[in-house]
Amino acid sequence: MSTEKAARIQTSILNAAEKRALVWLAHRQPSWVTSDILTYIGVAGAFLCGLGFALSSINLNYLWLSSLGLVVNWYGDSLDGTLARVRGTQRPKYGFFIDHSIDAITITLMCVGAGLSPLLRLDVALCVLVAYLILSVYTYVCTICTGEMRLTYGKLGPTEFRLIVIILNTIFIFTPWSDYVYTFGKEVFTLFDLIASGVVVIIMVLWLVQWLIDRKKLSIIDPLRKN
């Protein structure tokens, strides 16, 4: 199955409102703004996010920079494809290659930055990274095998996760919850470590459920052949 023929599956909570906002923004971009430029703006946003996380170990107010980076990342990463569709300048294979190879870099920048912040332990942040990459690889495999490019799982997608992180950043700055710690053996976890661990579990459950569904679907499409 060619990537340009794959159906895009989007079922997230914010999907309808986000689509309207992205189309509105796409129509108002200057002519010199291209999809490639927006993709690189998304990378810059991820760098700002990771930098803000890392610097928050010096001053918690740098988490505002992290949240700003997430907004910039959303702007570039979400708008690049919409701009191409609005202008009729789609390059399906090139766009798929650029967008999703760079995604691996941007999520790594953000997760490593979070692991260097007081928000999360590094091992917990890396578990989030691994779970996200597992889901990403699964998405790309299914794009080829099933002809569906699933951009959301359940009611959650990248935009919802960005919003969750922004909310957690804000809570961390303004509440004493960051001081609550939980000890398991010799390991100490904050409340935010536990929340992130819960996110990892949710991601893996969503992956497993979808894997079972797609496995059954593919077993029918591509049945075992008897010799």
User: Taking 80 as the threshold, does the pLDDT of residue 88 lie above it?
Assistant: yes
The predicted-structure confidence for 138-157, as pLDDT tens digits, reads as follows 888 888 887 777 777 767 77
Domains and CATH numbers, the chain: 3-221 (1.20.120.1760)
Judge contact between 151 and 9, C-beta under 8 A.
Answer: yes
Mean pLDDT computed over 171-190: 80
User: Taking 50 as the threshold, does the pLDDT of residue 69 lie above it?
Assistant: yes
Query: What's the chain's average pLDDT?
Result: 87
Over pLDDT 70: what percentage of the chain?
A: 92
Q: Tally the residues of the chain.
A: 227
Q: Cα–Cα distance between 80 and 151 in angstroms, integer?
A: 15
Residue-level pLDDT at 49 = 97
What's the predicted TM-score (pTM) here? Answer: 0.86
- The residue behind tokens 């001081």 is 179
